Structure 1
């Protein structure tokens, strides 16, 4: 099997949360129940979020609010006890405060243990437990808000003594003996990927060693998990064992292979498992492509960030705020319907579309542009898009839908029709049509914009198009229109035939159609 390279360990972090009651007492915070993670009040909590490298970027505190603004309910925070600049009691308390201020569940992880046994300078899990004890005063009473991820990727690919199972169990027991009632999260060995199935096989031993029975298991899915079969097999094993599992880290790509992020996210959603992507920003060492935003700027989502937050089964569509903050009620309100797109700058292979923006009670996160009846042509974060890669001399009928931060989708906009130019982008003129309004038995097309795309002035133009079967032209304006069968020919009038280079004019028409139809004409052709 493929293994994760030691040099890449510093880029991974896990994320998931649980808060534990000692079995003899009522739950005091986040806690485990079978395979589920529950809040103190018994509400199920499913982590959706990302990791933030706080220990290396301590001044990037705006990241907490930015991560929340994209819909996350959890943030996994990188801390250090001394392998890097140590995060002391006051700093940890400030991190917890920022998580709470931004209504995020806080998964705190000690990164010092990364790659122990294979990477120089790595700490043991026993040392990680000592770090948590040293900052306990910042965590006491925060069991509703904080999950303690004892050590990031605590063993590399080499054998160590004590082994992962013993070392992890001992660290859990040490924290419990020192008064930690929090949900504890433990990372798998093999740089978190568990390709030797050590955690998969011995997780029950570790869980039973916890006096509070409040331990969550975290696997990091990178190149080892590049097929759906590998992913589902691992998830199935924990479901069968009745133990809680989260995908504490994953990415869309990695130097050790190409993870199947689509399956990771889809399976997490279908099974009610938490996931945490790696990572917000600041990656280095050749894995900068794992940044979700560029230079900590929330307005500059990378393709990976767009996929994680706004894609299918992504954070915006599936995250639910923790009940401790008053969350858990999904937003049922979709965005308003966008305005009908207007095409301009039509070439043989592209066109620019603009439309009136949607409004929403939460936040519009983007728009999907479709070619009717439902082929996705592109996505945009704003109410404008420039399409490319279109087919020359082809009619396109397009519409737009809006998405919001809760994953709701608007109704479809009105449809615009345009025809790309012949190969090479030449041609004498173009005709681009917009459906202004429509109802069950008719519609109005206006404007049909005629543009002189040649370098010379024109004195006339002719536009032809075909009415769908059963449609009847009932009126027109700004053109002399004739109908032969279903073919419509529109010619300029005396006052709008002269067009200089790049100049435009427009006409419109109204038609009836069989009741209940939704089709409109397409394939407008313009000639001199």
Structure 2
């Protein structure tokens, strides 16, 4: 099994990123600390592991933390002879040691994978015994007809059987989606899901069965997704709970019939700070097998309680909006839930007057260590009545004109900008901000021209799709501008502050700080003929509310 990948994006949901990572990590720590005996789980043996390929788009791969929840439950239930396979890594999700390999390609359509014959290469590299296929979301979003999507499904199953005639396929009736700007998405999902059972029945064989897994029923995009499309903590849990009973018979076991609910969470208490952040804490529930998480409910002005999030720890944070009461219930892996705890009220605390005074304007930046691809800026520090939280660095193209856009932040009065184009002029200005978000005026601008660099190639970045917590950029193009073939290329660019690279393809990629370096792959696309181009892609996460993406990149040849 491949369980050595670095951490990536944490779970979605109402909790913050760090807290979401802590949530799933705590679940795994709790699970591994318990001695779990589940009737029907297979005994440990030395047989070759069952190779399971999670196949899909960003719901599966970015971050696709239902895979982490499912893997953890399989391990706790005794199904340890399992190997998740795929050409993509997928660690993170707040835990280490789980098998994150997958084929969850952000932004991909089933029709595109089929039409471009991308699956055979993935199969040849992994040879799965079982495929968990959740595909069709991007097809529906792009208004593909149901019949066209099912034709693609059929071709993919045929390609799976060509690699392994005995392959077992679990195909999902996909989760609902309600993204803004896609009025046809809900009905498109329903139409596809309604047609999948008959398609699966016609495609299934005794040697290679196709089993339908209902991921749609009971899935609420308002509660179970972070943006109407991508699951949050509760959504990941629900997806894992649906895959588990369909997968375990294929692993040589039976699904335990656990009907005992956890105990009611006790001692619920609440604290509200002057930023109107509500922090809830309670005593852990108990269960005959194991508690897997908690659902948090809120009611306001006497209205019925509604779910506002989930957590796998005994703490939860929420933003206070008016007077409110909170309740918590526990749940286990079988979906049993406790009764709601007694409600507690959240009230705003007495707080000092808000800080409205902005910092002073920073000094004019000065540039040093300017190279073909970067420069270092320094400036005189600002002052503030409370304290400076940091600086925003903005850049515009050319000596005049153009629009200033933020390219980074710094907590000190210095910043190094990388990924610049050789022999190119830029302008920079800086402003300070304090802890409550007051910002100073912009400093005067400084003009910087990078040195001339070697060349032979150019690079362009292209945004394919973006959502609240991330984006996919492809096809990113590398073009040989010379008169002879090049035997290698290197593309560098800077990720905006807070952005994290979560996956890449068709390039060898490394990250240092916010600087990303992508190189051509020998034997695949490192060599480019004169005047020709090649493409590559990557996926990244970004802070909630951010809409920025990298826009410029520099290409060099050996």
Q: Which one scores higher on RCO, CA 8 angstroms, separation ≥ 6?
A: 1
TM-score category, normalised to shorter length? under 0.3
- TM-score, normalised via structure 1 length: 0.27
